[in-house]
Structure formats: structure tokens, C-alpha cells
Amino acid sequence: MAKFRIEHSVKSDNPSTRLDMFLKSLGVRLSRTRIIELIDSGRALVNGRISKPSYKVKQGDHILVEYEVLVKTDLKPEDIPLKIIYEDDQIIVLDKEKGMVVHPAKGNREGTIVNALLHHTKISGGDSERPGVVHRLDKDTTGVMVFAKNEIAHQYLANEIEKRAMKRTYLAIVWGGFVKKVGRIDARIGRSNIDRRLMTVTDINSKEAVTTYRVLKNFKICSLLKINLLTGRTHQIRVHMHHIEHPVVGDKEYKKNVYLAIKDLPVDLKKHFDTIDNLIDRQALHSISLTFRHPSDGRFVSFYSPLPEDFRRVLDYLWNLEKEKN
């Protein structure tokens, strides 16, 4: 039986987040039913008082949770190679390759980064089914990500994300050009009613999602963007880029608006579409850097991942296209 204590001051406003759901986001390793029992029994206090599971969490609330849990998991450690950027007794930072699923889920219990980490080192914190997981990257998104090696580090890093103190920077190649060099997308994301595997911009059963971007280069048919996440919803960048009619190059799932992004281009440029689309067999999205305070002493640390070969291949083609006469 493991004992856990979480003490947290809410830094950002969460007007639509129930207390039971907020505790889950803090890493309370219990089912929702157990969390509700925890709140009702007075072991999860808000500002020193017992609250209801439906209480809406507010900025400035002080939350104290104490609970016990039997840590049980059937996750299998696997000897899978990892690209380790940095490691100490609190965190491990990886350079994720394409095709790697971050953590096990129903029907996919093996071959994930978590399985590999369990073989490499002792790792815990957060959900016992997703030990050490602080944030996620899609299966075919590459780049830098951090994992916590214990409960204290996990709570610390989860808090950094919750108060938007962890800076997560991506590079993306998207279809079409931009007039404005900087932008902010503030559009709630929820599960698609048409295809439950996918996400969409919607006000129904959705969560706040905020993405900012800067145009690094407008190419003739595509653009290179530097993107920062202020929230971390499933498929957030891909969904938001699709929403503003600039789908990520190579994205096979969020590409409905792709022709709208290039509809005004001359015919001689449109002919390059299929060539570019075939240069990369995944979305051209790369987590290039992470900056956050280290759980051990609060110092700022930054980690970087070089661009993978397939991403650079697309960029090279676009640069060569720039040299051609109009």
C-alpha cells in the first residue's frame, strides 16, 4: 500500500473544471468513483474545507489530498532502445522517434515508451497505467519529452504544466501561406461525434485549448511554423491547424481542409502537392524543445531535439522550390 499526499495551489482559472476531474488531472491515481468517495470522506480539502465533487475549481484555491492506493500494474518491462537526452534521479528526457506510442492503453499493452522505461529504470508517479507520464506526443510526432521518475517529480511537473510554466515548442510544416506572422488559436477541443478516434473544435463536451504560433518562413506552397502549447489536448496542434485551414503536411487524419489552403495557388505550384505529401509518411510535426523548472531545485533547464531526416527532407524540397523562377 502506497501513501500519497498532494498539496496544490491553483494558479490559473478553471471555471468549468469540477473538483473530481481536477484531482484526476493532478495525478490522483484512483478511479473517478474512488475520487468522489475521497472528496465525500473529507480527504480532499479545498481551502481547508470539505467540498462537493461538483465544486468548480477557482484560481487561488488551495487543495490538499491524502490517500492510499494499492499500486498494481501488469505492464511489462521491455528491452526497447531509447534515445536518452538527459537523466538523473528525478527525471528522464527522451528524443522520441516516429512510430512510438507513449504509454499502454486498451488493446495496446506492449511496445510503448513506458514499457521501455520500466526496463531501463525505476519509474513511477501519476497513473499506475501510465507511470511517469507528464505529457504526451502522438505516435508519429517526434522530438523531446520528459518523464518523471517518482511521485514528487510527477506532481511538480504536472503543476508546472497546469500553471503554463513549462514551455513546449514545436516546429511544423503546414499547407498554405500566412499574411500575419504571429497568431493565437483559442478554440475548445473535444471528441468528434463523426469519428470517435479523432478530435475536433467544438463547444460540446470540450476543454479549453490554446495554441500560439510564429511564421518562420512562408514558402511557395507551405509554411514553417514555430508553435507553443499553452494547453495540452489530444492532437491539439493538428486539430488547431486543420481548424484554421492550414493542415500539417503529411497528416493523414486531419487533412479535410488541405485543398482550401492551396486553392489560390497557380497550377504550376499545385503540381508539387503530391510530391511534397509523399516525402514524409507522417505529420510534419516535431517537438524541438522543452524548458521547465527542475523538480529538485527549481532551476530552469532546457532540452532540444534535432530535426529528424524526413522533416529535413521536406524542408530541403521547399527551399529548392524557392530557387526556381516564378
- Mean pLDDT highest for which of 12-21, 64-73, 251-260, 271-280? 271-280
pLDDT (0 to 100) of residue 256? 80
Higher pLDDT pick, 125 / 80: 80
| Percent of residues, the chain, with pLDDT higher than 70 | 94
Based on the fold, state whether residues 135 and 188 are members of the same structural domain: no
Based on the fold, state whether residues 236 and 275 are members of the same structural domain: yes
* Tally of CB atoms within 10 A around 219: 19
Choose one of 116, 146, 163: the last residue of a domain. Answer: 163
Q: Which grid cell sits at 43?
A: 480527504
Express each pLDDT in 202-243 by its tens digit: 999 898 999 999 999 999 999 999 999 999 999 999 999 999
Q: Which grid cell sits at 306?
A: 534535432
pLDDT (0 to 100) of residue 260? 79
pLDDT of 72 higher than 80: no
Express each pLDDT in 2-43 by its tens digit: 677 888 888 876 666 889 888 888 877 676 777 888 888 888
What value does the mean pLDDT take over residues 239-249? 96
What value does the mean pLDDT take over residues 273-290? 95
pLDDT (0 to 100) of residue 326? 57
Sheet holding 49-50, edge to edge: 2-9, 62-69, 44-46, 49-50
Choose one of 114, 140, 163: the last residue of a domain. Answer: 163
Q: In the annotation, is 95 catalytic?
A: no
CATH at 178: 3.30.2350.10
| Mean pLDDT score across all residues of the chain | 89
* Domain assignment present for 297: no
282 is in which domain, residue-wise?
169-286+311-323
pLDDT of 173 higher than 90: yes
Choose one of 141, 163, 185: the last residue of a domain. Answer: 163
Annotated catalytic residue: which of 20, 95, 138, 140? 138
Express each pLDDT in 93-137 by its tens digit: 999 999 999 998 877 788 999 999 999 998 877 677 788 899 999
pLDDT of 321 higher than 80: yes
Based on the fold, state whether residues 99 and 223 are members of the same structural domain: no
Cα–Cα distance between 306 and 115 in angstroms, integer?
Answer: 24
Minimum mean pLDDT range among 10-14, 78-82, 274-278, 304-308: 10-14
Based on the fold, state whether residues 144 and 240 are members of the same structural domain: no
Based on the fold, state whether residues 79 and 108 are members of the same structural domain: yes
pLDDT of 71 higher than 70: no
Cα–Cα distance between 149 and 141 in angstroms, integer?
Answer: 23
Q: β-strand 142-148 against 285-293: which pairing, if any?
A: parallel
pLDDT of 249 higher than 60: yes
Tell me how many domains the chain contains.
Answer: 3
pLDDT (0 to 100) of residue 275? 93
Q: Which grid cell sits at 142?
A: 517526434
pLDDT (0 to 100) of residue 325? 66
